[in-house]
């Protein structure tokens, strides 16, 4: 699933627009597709604020680089 974001960090945390639509649709710990964050390099920051209910992305793709955050089987906060 391609998910947009306002900001991403290298731990896979994603800052969305504050409505938690994606997080509620696929809560941590449950089955879900791989999450691919799409953005520009300037949207990649040192740290994104995150809560327990937030879902991390598995991969982040920008116009400059692509990085894999975690293997698909480990979703949820604090795992990488």
pLDDT at 79 over 50: no
9 close to 77: Cβ distance less than 8 angstroms: no
Longest dimension (CA), the chain: 31
| pTM for the whole structure | 0.74
Residue 60 in this model has a pLDDT that exceeds 70: yes
- Cβ atoms of 32 and 8 within 8 Å: the answer is no
- Domains of the chain from N-terminus onward: 2-68 (3.40.50.10420)
Q: Within 13 Å and on the Cβ side, how many CA atoms surround 49? A: 3
For 1-16, what is the mean pLDDT?
Answer: 91
The answer to whether residue 77 scores a pLDDT higher than 50 is no
């Amino acid at each position: 699933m391609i998910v947009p974001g306002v900001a991403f960090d290298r731990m896979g945390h994603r800052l969305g627009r504050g409505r938690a639509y994606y997080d509620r649709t696929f809560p941590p710990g449950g089955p879900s597709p791989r999450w691919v964050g799409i953005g520009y390099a300037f949207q990649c920051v040192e740290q994104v604020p995150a809560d327990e209910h937030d879902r991390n992305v598995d991969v982040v793709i920008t116009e400059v680089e692509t990085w894999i955050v975690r293997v698909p089987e480990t979703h949820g906060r604090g795992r990488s």
